[in-house]
Amino acid sequence: MLISGGEAGDPEFNDPLLPHLLDAIARCGEGSRIELCVSFIRQSGLVLLRGALHEALARGARLRVITSDYLEVTQPVALRELLKFDPARSCALIYQSQGNRGFHLKSYLFVQHAAQYLGQQVGQEGSPAVLGGQAFLGSSNISAAALTESLEWNWSLRAEPSGPSEPHRSLRQLAAQIERLAQDARVVLLTHDWIDGYLARYRQSALRELRVLTGDHRSSAEQLREAPIPNSVQQEALMALQAARAQGHKRGVVVMATGLGKTWLAAFDVRQMQAARLLFVAHREEILTQARQTFLHMAPQANSGLYHGQQQDEADWLFASIQTLGKSRHLLRFAPDHFDYVVVDEFHHAASPSYRRLLNHFKPRFLLGLTATPDRTDQADILALCDNNLVFERGLALAIEQKMLVPLTYHGILDDTIDYAALPWRNGQFDPHALESAFASQKRAQHALSQWRRLRQQRTLAFCISTRHADFMASVFQQAGVRAVAVYAGSRQGRQAAQEQLAAAELDIIFSVDLFNEGTDLPAIDTVLMLRPTESRIVFLQQLGRGLRLYQGKERLVVIDLVGNHKACLYKPQLLQTQLTYSPTHANRAMPLAAGCFINLDPKLLPLLALLKRQQQPTLLETYQILKEYLGYRPTARQTWVARLGEQLRFDTQKQGGWFELLAQAGDLGEEELRVLNRHGDFLRAGVENTALNKSFKLILLLALLELDGLREPPTLAALASHSRYLFERHPELARLDLP
């Protein structure tokens, strides 16, 4: 039977090969063998077949693929994809043409073999008897165009178990020829190392093809200069990531100051590792959109998509929000090893339950956490989620010294228009309604306007406490003749339009709530006005970071911060001093700030800061409650310990009777948890909280048990052993420490 190609719906040619192949694959199960022998494979075609092939292997079929490097048409990313099939039931081979012999085969064979053959492994010699099957021979390689729309002629031959002998003879002849080809000296087993070597040839071939298609005959070096290339910081980070993987690490965190290009780094590393399938996770839609644009700028032909939760997206590069993918029902749609590379942006959010579910579920070849977390205190817990593997770190000071970011001048201005001490303080933060009412006053607005006029540059971004506060401030500035707008979710002024107007100097200032805190590029900003108190070091530095990017004509960032009489103001001078000081050889010695940076504090602030520092330090329970309010979920003992350590305070649960009793006093234990505490409190204190763990395998076993939810439903010994081994392999340093 002739299959004439074309696409469904075409009045003349509407018989594409893909449905026929999918039907043949669906018939394959235990005892079946699938032989794909094609000149080249493109990722666009392989994605159309891979789901059906995985299902066939799960039913007991065996798969062998033979393709070639002929003319360097086969895509490396497609070759990586072939290695994701079950290695016990599949085999991928490469015919190395070496430029001196063509390889034009396009055959697809699906056969049921005699019972005595079923014990043989894929790739073994021998020509088994054929019980039945189907073959397709013709002109179609594995590409989307060839399988779904191009005019391709392919001949189909079917042999039924009790049918005529001639089709059986033809299938046996084809099977024998494929076996003969598999034993050829030019055919080698496909491995990641072979693909790494093929990459260089493939890239040169892609440039030659581009010159033919476009008539552009510039040198390869000239064309490569126009392609996205990593900056010096990204190059250092890429080398560190490659070294980490070579050491056996499967997860790692990169800490880079806002403005150094963390998303671009991830894109470059995906290209460096030649990952076939990527998952990029963030908590904001705009971050996902920008990230997708960045990745597509590097690889415009990539098959990418946004995951909206309706079904498993077939995109190879998938961008998903944690709000959707963090739910169990969505995670379970993906096999743990579905993705080769997982990127978690703004990784300082990763300690939350939804992120933990995602991190526990996926087992990619590599997982990268990206963050601009300000200091070790904040990093401690998130590092644990990436096996305590800090791959690379580049802070503000060195980035400014290397002229990757502009220097900054910080002005801490006393805000004496509000008595913060009189505002209600509940659960680790100011009462939002009281704070909003106090902030929306003419006296404070005029104070901010006066200081802004004295210190500002050309383009300002101001951070407000609420939408009402943003509207109020914009109105006051407008009445004073300033070109100002308020921008937030649902505001009259669109964010994109406001950004463009500000960059074009058609606006002087944008008042925002939290839309610009993170994940937004605003290089034109040269002044940041802080009109809201924040207890979060992360948020504070993110707001600074909005204006640190390089921009034509911008020499520095000016930060104007209204500082009130509250303990939340204490950390800012010390944090800035730490962040803007770089000393590679004298870490504990007072050093000057990075070149061009200044910290200016209103002299009226100095007595206030001294007074606040002498005030009573928070109790352990108060620290816990403040941390819980900031995180938005119940913090762990480790997180609370790190928070106390950052404030140079002791972490001592004896007054409460133990960590679990502290949770009970905070009202954070449910009824079931309280019953467990009442019944097994002594064990939890002595057997868990205070037990001695002197070998890594104990912690690995406990972690595996927790990640498998084994305390609720005991896992099988095989499952526990398998997951323990996976966790152990993620910590290569443990093998060096604990194994002889």
**Backbone dihedral region for residue 133 (phi beyond 0: left; psi -120 to 50: alpha; all else: beta):** left
Pair type for strands 5-6 and 14-15: antiparallel
Dihedral angle over CA of 53, 54, 59, 60, nearest 10 = 80
- Residue 646's pLDDT is 61
| Residue/partner pairs of 599-604 with CB below 8 Å, 24 or more apart | 599/410, 599/412, 599/573, 600/409, 600/410, 600/411, 600/412, 601/412, 601/573, 602/411, 602/412, 602/413, 602/414, 602/563, 604/414, 604/416
Pair type for strands 154-159 and 14-15: unpaired
Strands (E), 467-556: 484-487, 509-512, 527-530
Q: What is the CATH number that goes with domain 2-223?
A: 3.30.870.10
Q: What is the pTM of this model?
A: 0.60
- Residue 311's pLDDT is 53
- Residue 254's pLDDT is 93
Convert 358-383 to b/e letters by CB count within 10 Å (16 or more is b): bbbbbbbbbbbbbbbbbbeebbbbbb
Give the side-chain half-sphere CA count within 13 A for 685. 13
Dihedral angle over CA of 456, 458, 462, 468, nearest 10 = 110
Pick the CATH number of 232-394 from 3.30.450.20, 3.20.20.70, 3.40.50.300, 3.30.300.210: 3.40.50.300
Note whether 373 and 254 are within 8 A (CB): no
If residue 94 lies in a helix (H) or strand (E), which one and from where to where?
A: strand 90-95
> What is the Cα–Cα distance from 544 to 408, expressed in whole angstroms?
9
Instruction: Specify the 3-state DSSP secondary structure of 320.
Output: strand
* Tokens representing residue 163 in the block: 């049918």
Q: DSSP assignment, residue 422? A: G
> What is the Cα–Cα distance from 295 to 292, expressed in whole angstroms?
5
37: which strand partners? Answer: 66, 107
- Residue 527's pLDDT is 95
Type of residue found at 545: G
Dihedral angle over CA of 190, 191, 197, 203, nearest 10 = 70
| Residue/partner pairs of 335-338 with CB below 8 Å, 24 or more apart | 336/361, 336/362, 336/363, 337/84, 337/362, 337/363, 337/364, 338/277, 338/279, 338/362
- Residue 637's pLDDT is 82
Q: Measuring CA to CA, which residue among 630, 674, 649, 669 is closest to residue 537?
A: 630
Note whether 618 and 434 are within 8 A (CB): no
* Angle of CA points 117, 121, 125, to nearest 5°: 70
Instruction: Specify the 3-state DSSP secondary structure of 717.
Output: helix
Q: Measuring CA to CA, which residue among 196, 150, 106, 154 is closest to residue 3?
A: 154
Note whether 43 and 73 are within 8 A (CB): no
Q: How far does the chain reach from its first CA to its final CA, in angstroms?
A: 64
* Tokens representing residue 455 in the block: 């210190």
* Tokens representing residue 72 in the block: 């360097």
Task: Find how far residue 542's CA is from the centre of its chain.
Answer: 19
> What is the Cα–Cα distance from 266 to 299, expressed in whole angstroms?
13
Note whether 456 and 530 are within 8 A (CB): no
- Residue 243's pLDDT is 92
Same fold, 232-394 and 401-614: yes
> Tokens 């900056």 identify what position?
231
> What is the Cα–Cα distance from 622 to 341, expressed in whole angstroms?
40
> What is the Cα–Cα distance from 241 to 246, expressed in whole angstroms?
9
pLDDT tens figures, 663-710? 888 888 888 888 888 888 887 777 777 777 666 677 788 888 888 878
Q: Measuring CA to CA, which residue among 527, 561, 573 is closest to residue 547?
A: 527
Type of residue found at 631: L
If residue 55 lies in a helix (H) or strand (E), which one and from where to where?
A: helix 43-58
The total number of residues shown for the chain amounts to: 740
CA distances from 702 to 138, 575, 679 (A): 56, 36, 21
Pick the CATH number of 401-614 from 2.30.33.40, 3.90.79.10, 3.40.50.300, 1.10.3720.10: 3.40.50.300
Note whether 520 and 493 are within 8 A (CB): no
Domain ranges of the chain: 2-223, 232-394, 401-614, 620-738
Instruction: Specify the 3-state DSSP secondary structure of 183.
Output: coil
- Residue 225's pLDDT is 40
Q: DSSP assignment, residue 8? A: T
* Tokens representing residue 324 in the block: 């959707």
- Residue 687's pLDDT is 72
- Residue 554's pLDDT is 92
Give the side-chain half-sphere CA count within 13 A for 432. 7
- Residue 698's pLDDT is 76
Which strands sit side by side in the sheet containing 278-282, from one edge to the other? 304-307, 317-321, 278-282, 341-344, 366-371, 251-256, 390-394
Pair type for strands 14-15 and 32-38: unpaired
Query: Phi then psi for 289, rounded to 5 degrees?
Result: -65, -45
Instruction: Report residues of the chain scoring pLDDT below 70.
Output: 8, 99-100, 113-131, 200, 203-227, 310-314, 351, 373-382, 426-429, 515-521, 567-570, 582-591, 611-617, 629-633, 646-648, 693-696, 735-740
